[in-house]
Structure 1
């Protein structure tokens, strides 16, 4: 089966980061995605973000090639572009033009700051967008500076996946009789939205603005990573009382009064210091033998190659090899319309 988006055609104006990731998501799930590259560009076959695409080369400063692009977009359901605000308008392929050509078109715009606002015309990267949204300021250990979570939160979580969701939502709207429309997808907006639960916790008085002091940001001893005797690391997430009780039992601290008050923040530093000693007493593999696949909420912290080789990931096919390149498989999965395997650009 070709996936649930079979029959949908998307035109993707070549870019970097979140635009290609959005195109990859749509292509993974069955859409025909045609990527428009500059003349002379050779798609990198080792880049998973470009998989499952057909590429056309057009000079967007050429009137003839702009006409070709407009003709192509007339046959499309959606378009992805990641230029700064106003660029496609100056090229003659802005929303007004293309929606006049194709009133059912879903015109997806991927930017960092958005199409409007005082920062809209400025350059930026993931780190800047999540800084402005408040997400970056909440990530890091107590007493340390904010730690960028690679570029997962802005580019891919708050950007590409939000745009993919927006495009599929708007395409569903068109199917249900709505007109085509423009999607203004900003990584500042998306990364702010990803923090919704923390805003809720803050409103309830159970989240501090001081990073590294909360239950989910390494403040809690039962939700953190710990170094093992061999220099590896394990991840513990024993939040619920029954899981915490199992953690204590397995570590041999069930009768230690220090750990009785799980949510007493005043006890957390001492509890964490004791757990640090305990976890350093055995190797990562030894802890896996005791805790893996239990209700402790445990996992070893794996590197790239280790993640690929882990039995659970192998059993599920979480990673695939395409053209000699190991990469994540498409997700999520469908029971009735499973996706075709990805193909090289």
Structure 2
């Protein structure tokens, strides 16, 4: 199937639209590793730099499940010593991209900031991802997805009326506003370099990335179509025809029939009183409409409703668990999930009509061997031996 993953690991020759691209990833947590994983699965050769003095991660995964390391070569360096810093700068000369997710100033204090890196390699694209950006009053502060959503105004908007805001996993700021915006910036900078030959620095922040995801909401507010109170708007559980409802078996269905023609189909099959069809957007009817939908939905199980609505455009879906989603017929037909060793995970995305992905696997022995890695970056056997003897290279 065109565009499907090849199912090979990091040790095989890479394929995909980014084949031949060299990326240096400074090891960290969260969105930068996800961005690096996606670049790897699109064909880039990713070298993950791990510090020899790194402490224990917050969540320690068995290696076969550790997607922060899959699909890469792994090189451990002592970056507290000048020889380790100099080695990384030499590697950056051969790289197309360098990505890091440290607080502002960390790379500069190591002697690896963008100024010196781009002086060595003017074509280097230096991607930086932080919570708050490289400057500003909060730039040096620690935070997590929930922190950035709070400052962006988005956490306030997520949840039900008269209830506390709900953290949306770490999908919105970390992965959406962080990893996806970083990738967009990297690819845009690659296009710019193809025309100018010049690299540049990308300052991506999760607070701004998450805010950008909400740009349409700000537009609705400006037009008077959205208010600044959660649970009262069209897409935030305020509308009874865009919400979840509990079924007879204590599971749920998702109802999303915003358009009148879709709502009419939903009302016909549920069924609902005809007065609701003509008054779908009459907010004075919404409390009664919500109660009517909730009462009807409780009469059948989730899967009974799913079967009833399966061949319609009523925009009704069963709320599947993470495990159930892997086995849904549509996801199976699309091969939307893939197996990598003992790990079942989402398949690489997006798909390309002329390229195939490389499904990332655990780093093979060859991609953990410092000598093999450094030879690919142009170092001699003698230089590698000297670095190993000096303790610059970890195992």
What is the TM-score with the length of structure 2 in the denominator?
0.85
Quick one: which of 45, 58, 69 aligns to 1:50? 69
8 Å contact kept, 1:259–1:271: no
Which residue of structure 2 lines up, in the alignment, with residue 289 of structure 1? 307
Alignment of 1:65-144 (within 5 A): 65-144=84-163
Partner of 2:20: 7
User: What residue is the counterpart of 2:384 in the other structure?
Assistant: none
Report 1:14-33 matches (<5 A). Answer: 14-33=27-46
Is residue 2:355 matched to residue 1:340? no
C-alpha separation in 2, matches of 1:322 and 1:293: 33
CA distance in 2, matches of 1:269, 1:213: 12
CA distance in 1, matches of 2:303, 2:68: 33
Structure 1 position 208, deviation (Å): 1.1
1:231-267 alpha-carbon deviations (Å, 9 max, x no partner): 11111110111101100111122x4314431111222
| Deviation sequence 1:293-327 (CA, Å, 0-9, x none) | 42011211011210111111111111111011111
* In 2: Cα distance, 1:46 partner to 1:99 partner: 35
Question: Is 2:222 aligned against 1:203?
Answer: yes
Against the structure 1 CA distance between its residues 293 and 120, is the aligned structure 2 distance closer, same or farther, given a 3 Å change threshold? farther
TM-score by length of 1: 0.97
Q: Which whole-Å CA distance do the structure 2 matches of 1:313 and 1:69 have between them?
A: 42
In the aligned structure 1, how far is the partner of 2:313 from the partner of 2:68? Answer: 35
Name which structure has the greater RCO, CA cutoff 8 Å, separation 6+.
2
Q: Gaps (5+ residues) in structure 1?
A: none
Runs of 4+ with deviation above 4 angstroms: 40-43
Q: What displacement does 1:68 show? A: 1.1
1:265 corresponding residue in structure 2: 283
| Aligned-partner Cα distance in 1 for 2:335–2:196 | 38
2:231 equivalent to 1:212 = yes
Counterpart position of 2:380:
none
Q: Tell me, which stretches of 5 or more residues in structure 2 are unaligned? A: 1-13, 55-59, 364-395
Q: Deviations over 1:76-117 (max 9, x none)?
A: 001011111011111000000000000000000010010011
Task: Trace 1:314-325 onto structure 2 (pairs within 5 A).
Answer: 314-325=332-343
Pick one of 282, 307, 311 that aligns with 2:329: 311
1:342 Cα shift? 2.5
Structure 1 residue matching 2:65: 3-state secondary structure: coil
SS at match of 1:34: strand
Q: 3-state SS of the aligned residue for 2:314? A: coil
Q: Which has the larger radius of gyration?
A: 2
Counterpart Cα distance in 2 of 1:127 and 1:341? 30
2:202 is aligned with 1:189: no
Partner of residue 345 from structure 2, selected from 313, 327, 344: 327
Q: CA deviation at 1:178?
A: 4.6
* TM-fit CA distance, 1:272: 0.7
Give the Cα separation in 2 of the matches to 1:315 and 1:193: 33
Aligned to 1:167: 186
| Per-residue deviation, 1:49 | 3.6
Alpha-carbon distance between aligned partners in 1 of 2:312 and 2:69, rounded to the nearest angstrom: 38
SS in 2 for 1:244: helix
Q: Secondary structure at the match of 2:339?
A: strand
Report the RMSD for the aligned CA atoms in angstroms: 1.5
Partner SS, residue 65 of structure 1: helix
**Cα displacement string for residues 114-168 of structure 1 (whole angstroms, at most 9, x for unaligned residues):** 0011000111111111110111111110111111101111100000110011011
Describe the shift of the 1:49–1:296 C-alpha distance in structure 2 as closer, same or farther (beyond 3 A): farther
* Equivalent residue in structure 1 for 2:257, among 238, 248, 252: 238
Structure 1 position 336, deviation (Å): 0.6
